[in-house]
């Protein structure tokens, strides 16, 4: 038999362990009631201590061995670990009562005696003493919407973020540089007046083009160059009587005269085109040599062939780009939708929002150019400085009337005019014949662009508290991008004893632990430096360098851990300083075996006989209104948390003087019989302390 780690055989004592088995008595209060047969029983929901009596025998040298044993037993106070060979898989916590019955052999050479212990009713399983790492399995899924199955109701939502993308109306086309919001799909890049071979072409405000003069040679006036969509188109807008004199035409840019369709104002004109998607073409007004065009007006229009009405309508793109001023995530369970909306504090065109923390990472810049900027001419077209440096040739580049240069087509210097590329500058291909005409084009059709920032910007917004409900949770967002949901499935622990156990948790700060869906530990504690107000109980707590601020009214008794100490042997004095709350606010000092209390502003002196670990907490009595700053004084030194690093082992995490692990033995945490589901946000270990009667 072993008691507190010492075997009785070390003292030459033989023990009869046959009486190690026994069953504790339930605690009933029996009350006799006049006129009632039998007693009224009240069960106090507990078992009484059990008395364990062990017959012992010393063969020789009785007096010395017996006295050595008694000296050892009497040196110990409180319940100690008791182990017997009869129950190798269990141990008890027993208290030596000092009651010993002795009978010696002749001349006191040997002797018999009985050792009596008062033991706790539990027989603890040694397997329950092993520390087990509680690790929740994590999974991540992205999409919009996202479906998460939570049949047990115990899966935790540990991450929820949404991608924010700019909104662009492409008006039915798959490229923003072709097509408009209205009937006319022909982009016009011509501006002002141009005279060529005796013919003056004047672009009017509505996009129509007035001609004057007599052509001295065949003359082509390019309205625009663009890539066609994958659809059937029809052209119109040439004045009547143009056969062999003038026409409005669509030609391939790569093959010169490869005409796709034309309108010359006659009934026989070939006005419909069907060209492979992405083919680059140009819209041209052609006047043949010797033709006088005074008074002629062209109304260039390219419409869907299915639209039979050829009445002119000015081109109006442009495929506009808009951003988001708020982000809404919707959780739908069993047909019930709940919206979680975060105000973005401005317009955001691209980035990622962490819904649970409120951290917004903006990675996209939006700009509008109207021709007033400091543009300059370069060999491939025009360029202008950007306010923030971008990522060159990023796939995030968007424009309302230009295509971005991407990895699939990275060269902005090709003859494909409608390319742009962002770095420290925006480079735009030669979309106009001169800088003045390019600026005039910007004035009439402002250029919008989005580009990826080389250095994303972080903004702290208001977080949303979102959780998973039992059943199928469907998440959707209105931000144009994907939702990423991270979940944590619970750790399953099987109780072999079928008795409620009170475990010991060791958690790393900050961590949260839930047992069967109920949060039992929030180890954010006061061990993390955070001036952001945090609600614990019904009170608001703020941690500053050197003190903690507590505000609010607590309706029930409440206790909160604030510090973890390890001290070498010695005598110490500690005090919680604050307002005049007397017994309403107390400092609790717990060494794992006993818990002591000290009123606020009162010195508490304690002695450690060996290296000892303490957990300090603030206790606030029910119906107490608190509005104060609290500090700790340790041997006269007012410091927070680590108090006096010269007297204690120093623990560091991220440069902060604090033990990264806190051992918690809260009595209210219970592991029921059968399976227990434990969910951890952070890091935790558990010593379950299984027991049987």
Residue showing tokens 């979102």: 466
pLDDT in tens, 161-177: 999 999 887 655 545 44
**β-strand partners of 352:** 163, 361
State the Cα–Cα distance between residues 652 and 650, nearest whole angstrom: 7
Residue showing tokens 């009713």: 121
pLDDT in tens, 72-117: 999 988 889 999 998 898 899 999 987 677 888 887 789 999 999 9
Question: Which carries the bigger pLDDT value, residue 641 or residue 433?
Answer: 433
133: Cβ contacts below 8 Å, ≥ 6 apart: 684, 685
Statement: residue 46 has pLDDT above 90: no
Q: Single out the residue of 45, 126, 42 nearest to residue 84, CA to CA.
A: 126
Where residue 689 falls among pLDDT bands split at 50, 70, 90? confident
Q: Single out the residue of 235, 29, 633 nearest to residue 616, CA to CA.
A: 633
Highest mean pLDDT among 48-52, 185-189, 548-552: 48-52
Structure tokens given for 460? 């702290």
Structure tokens given for 565? 């100490």
State the Cα–Cα distance between residues 506 and 131, nearest whole angstrom: 9
Highest mean pLDDT among 160-169, 330-339, 480-489, 643-652: 330-339
Q: Average the pLDDT over each of 35-49, 119-133, 177-191, 414-428 and give the range with the smallest value.
A: 414-428
Structure tokens given for 514? 């839930």
Cα first-last separation, the chain:
19
The DSSP call for residue 452 is E
Statement: residue 622 has pLDDT above 70: yes
**Secondary structure of 123-149 in the HEC alphabet?**
EEEHHHHCCEEECCEEEEEEECCEEEE
State the Cα–Cα distance between residues 328 and 342, nearest whole angstrom: 6
State the Cα–Cα distance between residues 270 and 263, nearest whole angstrom: 7
pLDDT in tens, 414-425: 333 345 667 777
CA 367 vs. chain centroid, Å, equals 30
Q: Average the pLDDT over each of 258-267, 290-299, 570-579 and give the range with the smallest value.
A: 570-579
Neighbour count for residue 457 (Cβ, 10 Å): 12
Domains and CATH numbers, the chain: 2-121 (2.40.30.200), 193-304 (2.60.120), 359-460 (no CATH), 494-686 (no CATH)
State the Cα–Cα distance between residues 28 and 538, nearest whole angstrom: 37
The angle formed by the CA atoms of residues 254, 259 and 263, to the nearest 5 degrees, is 140
Q: What is the pLDDT of residue 521?
A: 63
State the Cα–Cα distance between residues 182 and 233, nearest whole angstrom: 14
Beta strands (DSSP E) in 431-546 are 447-460, 471-477, 480-489, 491-495, 504-515, 518-522, 534-536, 539-544
Structure tokens given for 394? 């990023």
CA 371 vs. chain centroid, Å, equals 43
Q: Single out the residue of 310, 259, 418, 445 nearest to residue 248, CA to CA.
A: 259
Cβ atoms of 406 and 396 within 8 Å: the answer is: no
Q: What is the pLDDT of residue 517?
A: 66
Q: Single out the residue of 544, 689, 555 nearest to residue 628, CA to CA.
A: 544
* b/e per residue 109-129 (b: at least 16 CB within 10 A): ebbebebbbebbbbbbbeebe
Question: Which carries the bigger pLDDT value, residue 484 or residue 384?
Answer: 484
Cβ atoms of 248 and 262 within 8 Å: the answer is: yes
Q: What is the pLDDT of residue 563?
A: 65
Q: What is the pLDDT of residue 170?
A: 67
Statement: residue 657 has pLDDT above 50: no
State the Cα–Cα distance between residues 657 and 528, nearest whole angstrom: 10
Statement: residue 267 has pLDDT above 80: yes
Strand, coil or helix: 118: strand
**β-strand partners of 104:** 111
- Sheet (strand 272-274) strand order: 272-274, 232-236, 301-304
State the Cα–Cα distance between residues 191 and 178, nearest whole angstrom: 18
Q: Average the pLDDT over each of 417-426, 521-530, 547-556, 575-584 and give the range with the smallest value.
A: 521-530
Question: For all residues of the chain together, what is the average pLDDT?
Answer: 79
Question: Which carries the bigger pLDDT value, residue 502 or residue 212?
Answer: 212
Structure tokens given for 492? 């399953």
Element of type H or E holding 442: helix 435-444
The DSSP call for residue 429 is E
State the Cα–Cα distance between residues 520 and 504, nearest whole angstrom: 12
Element of type H or E holding 438: helix 435-444
**Secondary structure of 33-89 in the HEC alphabet?**
CCCCCCEEEEEEEEECCEEEEEEEEECCCHHHHHHHHHHHHHCCCCCEEEECCCCCC
Q: What is the pLDDT of residue 638?
A: 39
Q: What is the pLDDT of residue 352?
A: 96
Q: Single out the residue of 662, 215, 192, 620 nearest to residue 438, CA to CA.
A: 192
Neighbour count for residue 152 (Cβ, 10 Å): 12
Q: Single out the residue of 632, 480, 647 nearest to residue 566, CA to CA.
A: 647
**β-strand partners of 565:** 614
Strand, coil or helix: 11: helix
Structure tokens given for 91? 């141990």
Q: What is the pLDDT of residue 66?
A: 92
Q: What is the pLDDT of residue 165?
A: 92
Statement: residue 432 has pLDDT above 80: no
State the Cα–Cα distance between residues 526 and 618, nearest whole angstrom: 10
Cβ atoms of 396 and 168 within 8 Å: the answer is: no
Q: What is the pLDDT of residue 477?
A: 96
Q: What is the pLDDT of residue 651?
A: 26
Q: Single out the residue of 228, 232, 231, 229 nearest to residue 251, CA to CA.
A: 228
| Phi-psi sector, 444: left (phi>0), alpha (psi -120 to 50), beta | alpha
The angle formed by the CA atoms of residues 606, 609 and 613, to the nearest 5 degrees, is 70
Residue showing tokens 């623990």: 651
């Amino acid at each position: 038999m072993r008691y507190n780690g010492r075997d009785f055989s070390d003292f030459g004592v033989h023990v009869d362990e046959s009486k190690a088995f026994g069953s504790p008595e339930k605690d009933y209060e029996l009350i006799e009631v006049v006129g009632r047969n039998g007693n009224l029983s009240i069960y106090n929901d507990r078992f009484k201590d059990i008395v364990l009596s062990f017959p012992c025998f010393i063969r020789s040298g009785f007096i010395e061995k017996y006295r050595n044993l008694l000296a050892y037993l009497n040196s110990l106070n409180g319940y100690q670990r008791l182990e017997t060979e009869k129950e190798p898989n269990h141990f008890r916590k027993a208290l030596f009562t000092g009651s010993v019955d002795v009978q010696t052999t002749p001349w006191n050479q040997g002797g018999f005696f009985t050792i009596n212990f008062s033991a706790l009713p539990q027989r603890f399983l040694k397997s329950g003493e092993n520390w087990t790492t509680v690790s929740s399995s994590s999974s991540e899924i992205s999409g919009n919407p996202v479906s998460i199955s939570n049949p047990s109701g115990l899966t935790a939502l540990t991450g929820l973020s949404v991608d924010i993308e700019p909104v662009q109306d492409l008006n039915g086309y798959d490229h923003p540089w072709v097509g408009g919001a209205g009937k006319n799909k022909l982009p016009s890049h011509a501006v002002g007046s141009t005279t060529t071979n005796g013919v003056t072409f004047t672009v009017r405000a509505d996009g129509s083009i007035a001609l004057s003069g007599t052509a001295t040679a065949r003359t082509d006036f390019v309205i625009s160059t663009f890539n066609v969509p994958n659809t059937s188109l029809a052209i119109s807008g040439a004045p009547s009587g143009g056969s062999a004199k003038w026409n409005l035409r669509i030609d391939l840019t790569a093959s010169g005269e490869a005409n796709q369709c034309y309108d010359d104002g006659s009934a026989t004109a070939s006005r419909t085109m069907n060209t492979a998607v992405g083919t680059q073409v140009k819209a041209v007004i052609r006047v043949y040599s010797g033709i006088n065009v005074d008074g002629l007006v062209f109304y260039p229009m390219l419409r869907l062939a299915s639209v039979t009405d050829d009445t002119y309508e000015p081109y109006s793109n442009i495929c506009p780009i808009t951003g988001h001023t708020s982000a809404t995530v919707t959780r739908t369970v069993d047909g019930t939708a709940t919206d979680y909306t975060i105000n973005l504090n401005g317009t955001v065109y691209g980035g990622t929002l962490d819904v649970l923390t409120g951290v917004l990472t903006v990675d996209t810049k939006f700009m509008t150019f109207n021709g007033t900027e400091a543009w300059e001419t370069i060999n491939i077209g025009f360029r202008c400085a950007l306010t923030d440096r971008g990522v060159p040739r990023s796939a995030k580049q968007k424009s309302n009337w230009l295509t971005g240069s991407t990895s699939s087509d990275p060269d902005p210097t090709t003859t494909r005019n409608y390319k742009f590329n962002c770095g420290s500058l925006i480079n735009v291909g030669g979309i106009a014949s001169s800088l003045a005409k390019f600026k005039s084009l910007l004035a009439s059709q402002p250029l919008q662009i989005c580009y990826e920032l080389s250095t994303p910007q972080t903004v702290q917004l208001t977080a949303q508290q979102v959780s998973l409900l039992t059943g199928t949770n469907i998440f959707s967002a209105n931000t144009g991008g994907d939702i990423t949901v991270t979940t944590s499935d619970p750790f399953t622990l099987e109780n072999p004893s079928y008795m409620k156990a009170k475990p010991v948790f060791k958690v790393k700060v900050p961590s949260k632990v839930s047992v069967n869906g109920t949060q039992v530990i929030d180890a954010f504690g006061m061990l993390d430096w955070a001036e952001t107000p945090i609600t614990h109980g019904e009170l608001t707590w703020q941690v500053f360098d050197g003190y903690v601020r507590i505000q609010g009214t607590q309706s029930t008794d409440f206790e909160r851990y604030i510090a973890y100490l390890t001290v070498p042997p010695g005598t110490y004095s500690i005090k919680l300083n604050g307002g005049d709350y007397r017994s309403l606010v107390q400092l609790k000092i717990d060494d794992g075996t006993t818990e002591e209390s000290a009123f606020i502003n009162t010195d508490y002196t304690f002695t450690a006989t060996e290296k000892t670990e303490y957990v300090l907490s603030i206790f606030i009595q029910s119906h107490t209104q608190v509005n104060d700053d609290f500090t700790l004084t340790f041997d006269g030194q007012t410091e927070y948390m680590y108090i006096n690093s010269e007297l204690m082992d120093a623990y560091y995490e991220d440069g902060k003087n604090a033990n990264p692990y806190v051992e918690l033995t809260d009595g209210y945490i219970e592991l029921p019989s059968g399976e227990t589901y434990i969910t951890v946000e952070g890091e935790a270990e558990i010593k379950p302390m299984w027991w049987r009667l």
